[in-house]
Structure formats: C-alpha cells, structure tokens
Chains A and B, each alone.
Chain A
Amino acid sequence: MSTTNVIGSPLKRREDYRFLTGTGTYTDDVKLDRQTYAVFVRSPHAHAKINRIDTSKAKQAPGVIAVFTGEDTANAKINGLPCGWLITDVNGQPMKEPAHPVLAQGKVRYVGDHVAVVIAETYFQAKDAAELVEVDYETLPAVVDVAEAHKPGAPALHDMAPDNTCYVWAIGDKGAVDKAFASAHHVTKLEFLNNRLVPNAIEPRAAIASYNRADEGYTLYVSNQNPHVERLLMTAFVLGLPEHKVRVIAPDVGGGFGSKIYLYAEDVVVTWASKQVNRPVKWTSDRSEAFMSDAHGRDHVTVAELAMDKDGKFLAMRVNTTAAMGAYLSTFASCIPTILYATLLAGQYTTPLIYCEVKAVFTNTAPVDAYRGAGRPEAISVGQPPGTGTQS
C-alpha cells in the first residue's frame, strides 16, 4: 500500500476556486427579493445628551419606509446588548454593566453611537433621509484617555459608575510578591502604553435580515465569526425570542480578527426592523462607519515591575494595568484584560510569583474587545516590551 506524506506537502484549499473567480458569497453579496436598505444615524459627539430627535422630515423623504429611534426600541422592550463574561471586583461585587442600548436612550457616549435608523427603498434614499433626521444634542465634557478616566473630576459616562470604573480585578498573592520585591537585589520598573487600534477587516460588517409571518421566523445573514453565540445572545438576552425562530447564517467572511465575534446593535436592529416593515432589511457598513462602530482592540496603560536576584534570575513580577472598555461593554470585553491577559504575563520565563491588578474603565470611545490574540499579545508586550529584544 502506498502512502502519501502530507507533512510538508502543499494542499489546495476548497474555498480558493470560488474566491479566485469572484463567486464567493459575502454578506453584502446577498440580495433578497423586496429588500430594503438601512442607514444608521450616528452621534458626531463623544458625549452628549439628546434633547430631542425630529424624524418628521426624514419620514417624508422619497422612498423612506420607516425611521426608528431609541424610543421605538424601548417601546418594543428590546433589551441592551449583554456582556457575556462576568468579572467579580476585588471587593466581591459584580462588575458594573451599564445598559448598552441598540439605539441611544437619551444620551450618546461615543462618536459613532447609534441614534436612529432609516429604512428606505434604495441605499441612496436611506442615506439622503438619514441626513434629514434632526437631533438636538447638548454636548457634555468627554474623557477619551484611558489614563484619565478614573481620576477625580473626570466626566462620568454612566450613573452606575460615577468614577468610570467597571471593575478592579486582581490575581496572585500580593503579600508574597511585595515581600519578594522588598528583598530583591534589583528591580526594573517600566511604564508603557499599548495603544488602541481599529481591527479593520477588509470586508466591512454587513447584515441582512428577513422575517416570515407564516412561521414567525427570522433569517439573518451577517458577517460574523460566531453565529451561534450571536443567535443565543440576540434571542435570549435582547429580543426575547425562542432561539429556534432565528436562523443566523454567516456566509463567506472577509476577515474579522475578533471584531466580528460580537453581537452588534446593527444586527439586532435590522433583525427587529425586518418584522416591523415586513420586508428584508439590509445594512452594510462603510469604512468610516467601521472605524467608528467596530469594536476596537488594546488601549492599556501599564506599570510593570520585575524583581530579580543578584544573578538576574526572576523572583517576582508586579503589574498594574488600566484597560479601556470604551463607552459600553462589548460582548467579551471584560475577560480580555483579565483572564486572557494576566494569566500569560510570564510568557516563557520562569517567574515564581506574579501579582496583577487591572482596572477597567469606561471612556467616551468605541467599545474595546478582543483583537488578534485577545489580551495575550498585550501580556507578551509587558513581559517582553518592544525594543528589548532577546536578553543574553
């Protein structure tokens, strides 16, 4: 019997033929009969109170089928987007999880926050009408710097977190670590920033939902890395629907790097709206929207200390990180700078004792969540900061 050694042999991928010939199906390629187009009205302010929204002109614009605001989604009893990971604070209390509405409820908290949605016969009509939605904003002081958010006097984003602190979380034996530092021969201390970034998948997010009155079922095509969790969170926590009544289809996905794992407001709104207008509703993000509304990555400030003996052997590591959550908690935001971060700080180095404390703060910025490695690259950059190279 002859065998082929597959190790080291190139394999042709099943999906390449369709991608190379332009016959793949990404979400925006899906076109359903009688589909309508959704365009979101987004906040131009980092922090503002909404005094009034006037949709009357937009509703009268050519081709417009419906305009919905936060008042409509509240009347429909649509819940906020949930965070899927509970972190317990060092004081034993659960983390602060402020409401994350699918359309703003009286206040916007970052540039790009979703305020209203316009649904029209054509994309151009929806886009034109979105510009006719008049929003009376009363701007508020904003805090965008992760290092400033928890300081006294910083403007508070949420009533439930007046110091903008979502949680303070810690891991390790602080007493033993402090003792090791006290008797160390040498201590190195570094302060650094792990800057915020935008994941920027090459395919912008997109969603197209339809509703079938005959079986009361929904179908959502969405550019998503995690369709099962998307369905679970959307049905059980946000829309209050039986899970089997919503089918979520993730067709070909043009990259995500984490940013398409989450349940987003746009996905919920188009799904709900497809029943309201009784026609398929499609939304495709443009690149500017992606910068504003996709979950971002990183955004930490860290003070890290390393205690060594006289031979340079590691005795202990002490790390204090402040991590931005953005304006609201994205689906897995809370676990990224904690469980997925602090547990990998030692990297490949033998480090007998580690204590890490993480303060998660709200800032007037797009929500922050997992990006390429999800907390672990942030940890590695602490243990081996850029520029330090390999120590000999």
Chain B
Amino acid sequence: MSLKISMTVNGKSVSGDIEPRTLLVDFIRDTLRLTGTHVGCDTAQCGACTIHMGGKAVKSCNILAMQASGAEIVTIEGIAKSDGTLHPMQEAFRDNHGLQCGFCTPGMVMSAIDLARNNASLTEETIRAGLDGNLCRCTGYHNIVKAVQAGAQAMK
C-alpha cells in the first residue's frame, strides 16, 4: 500500500508516495534527498535526525512521515541564507570548533536554534540540559556549549 503525502519543506511544497510505515527522516532523506538530516540511532536517543516541525525541534526518526502531513518542516539545508551565508548558529559552531566528524552537527544546530529561540538567556547549565537529547561521540561538548552560547547571542 502506498500513500501520497504533502508537506512544506524549507519553504517549498513537496509531496511523495510512501509506505505508511515510512519515518519522516526516511521521507526527508530518501524521497526528498535532503541527506543533511542523519540517522544515528533510529531510537530517538542521539538527536542526529533533529529537524523543525511547526517551529519546534523534533526527532524525525521517531515520527511517521504521515504524521507530518501538511506540516511546515525546516531541515539543516534550510537554515543558511539562499546566497549561502551561514545562519548565526552555524557560524558560531564553525568559529568555536563545535564540530569534528560533523555527523551529529545538523541535529545539534537544529536543537540549538530551537533552544536559543525559546530561552531569553542561556547559561552553560541550561545549554547542557537543553542538548540532553543530542549526542556527540567525538565528545566535543565543551566547544558545542561555547558555540551555542555565542550563536544564541548572535541571534538576538
């Protein structure tokens, strides 16, 4: 059985035919070929698949594509300006060496933007708590926290 679904991704209307059990992350990666959203654990623990759905950070491996029908989705590919200028949070990760292998990075950036938008002031403690659901196995947390602090400041 195949279902047709439609949603808005990075400002564009998209649609596709999927099996009902297709995860949102697989729709994004395989159907739309937006491969910046990664699958690290497929069990909602690592956060590499984090995207924005309706303005909130969501783990796209833990939601069916059908559940996102009609939703407004933003992925890591939709964060920088169309001319390629990085978003302040992306720039802050770059400046603070907040990434190494880069695999967790899209999820980290998406979570960090959500965190900055919803918190007027962020401390090291609140950033660490806020990124609880994003794992970095290169163990770059120290610089990630610095990057989020700088990025949140730049977003103001």
- Of chain A, the residue at the smallest CB distance from B30 is A31
| Contact between chains at B137 and A19 (CB < 8 Å) | no
> What 1/0 flags go to B16-43 for Cβ under 8 Å of A?
0001010000000110011111111111
Interface bracket on B: 35 or more
Q: Which of B70-115 contact A (CB under 8 A)?
A: 75-77, 79-80, 84, 86, 90, 93-95, 97, 99-106, 109
B125-156 vs A, Cβ < 8 Å mask (1 yes, 0 no): 00000000001111000000000000000000
Which residue in B29, B36, B43, B79 is a CB contact (below 8 Å) of A287? B43
Pick the contact of B86 from A21, A24, A255 — CB < 8 Å?
A: A21
Residues of B within 8 A of A230 (CB): none
Q: Is B57 an interface residue (CB 8 A)?
A: no
Number of chain A residues whose Cβ lies closer than 8 Å to a Cβ of chain B: 32
- Residues of the A chain whose Cβ atoms lie less than 8 Å from the Cβ of B105: 19-20
> Which partner residue on chain B sits nearest A19 by CB separation?
B102
State A359–B38 Cα separation when bound (angstroms): 41
A1-34: contact bitstring with B at CB < 8 Å (1 yes, 0 no)? 0000000001011011111111111101101000
From the candidates B21, B37, B90, B100, name the one contacting A21 in the complex (CB within 8 A): B90
Contact at A20–B137, with CB atoms within 8 Å? Answer: no
Chain A: which residue is nearest B93 at the CB level?
A20
Q: Quick check: A255 and B101 within 8 Å, CB to CB?
A: yes
Cβ-based interface call for A192 (8 A): no
Q: Who on chain A is nearest to B80 by CB? A: A21
Interchain CB contact under 8 A, B103 and A254: yes
Q: Is B58 part of the contact surface with A, judged by Cβ < 8 Å?
A: no
B9: Cβ under 8 A from any A Cβ? no
Q: Evaluate contact between A202 and B104: CB separation under 8 angstroms.
A: yes
Q: How far is the CA of A29 from the CA of B36 in the complex (A)?
A: 8
Within 8 Å of chain B (Cβ to Cβ): is A184?
A: no
B76 close to A22 (CB less than 8 A): yes
**How far does the alpha carbon of A16 sit from the alpha carbon of B33 in the complex, in Å?**
21
Q: Which secondary structure characterizes the binding site on chain B?
A: loop
Cα distance, A200 to B38, chains bound together (Å)? 15
CB A128 to nearest CB in B, in angstroms, measures 10
Contacts of A19 in B (CB 8 A): 99, 102, 105-106
Q: Is the CB–CB distance between B94 and A12 below 8 Å?
A: yes
User: In whole Å, how far is B143's beta carbon from the nearest beta carbon of chain A?
Assistant: 11
Q: B90 to chain A: which residues have CB within 8 Å?
A: 20-21
- Which residues in A have their C-beta under 8 angstroms from that of B94? 12-13, 16-17, 20
Q: A18 to chain B: which residues have CB within 8 Å?
A: 102
Q: Residue B116 at the A interface, CB < 8 A? A: no
User: Are B102 and A16 neighbours in the complex by a CB distance under 8 Å?
Assistant: yes
Indicate if A286 sits at the interface (CB-CB under 8 A).
yes
**Alpha-carbon gap, A24 to B103, bound state (A):** 9
Contact between chains at B36 and A22 (CB < 8 Å): yes
- Does A204 sit within 8 A of B, measured CB to CB? yes
Residues in A with CB closer than 8 Å to B30 are 31
0/1 interface trace, chain B 42-55, chain A, CB 8 Å (1 if under): 11001010000000
Distance to closest chain B CB from A5 (angstroms) = 19
A31 proximity list for chain B (CB < 8 A):
30, 33
Q: Which residues of A contact B76 (CB under 8 A)?
A: 20-22
Chain B residues near A203 (CB-CB < 8 A): 38, 40, 101, 103
Report yes or no: B48 in contact with A202, Cβ–Cβ below 8 A: yes
Cα(A18)–Cα(B106), bound, Å? 10
Q: Decide if A204 touches B40 in the complex (CB within 8 Å).
A: yes
Contact: A257 with B19, CB < 8 Å? Answer: no
Whether A202 lies near B135 (C-beta < 8 A) is: yes
Can you list 18 A-B contacts (CB < 8 A)? A10-B97, A12-B95, A18-B102, A19-B99, A20-B106, A21-B77, A22-B34, A22-B76, A25-B35, A29-B29, A202-B101, A202-B103, A255-B100, A255-B103, A255-B137, A284-B39, A286-B42, A287-B40
Q: Could you list 9 further interchain pairs (A-B, Cβ under 8 angstroms) beyond the known A21-B76, A254-B103?
A: A12-B94, A13-B94, A20-B76, A20-B109, A22-B75, A24-B36, A28-B29, A252-B101, A287-B42
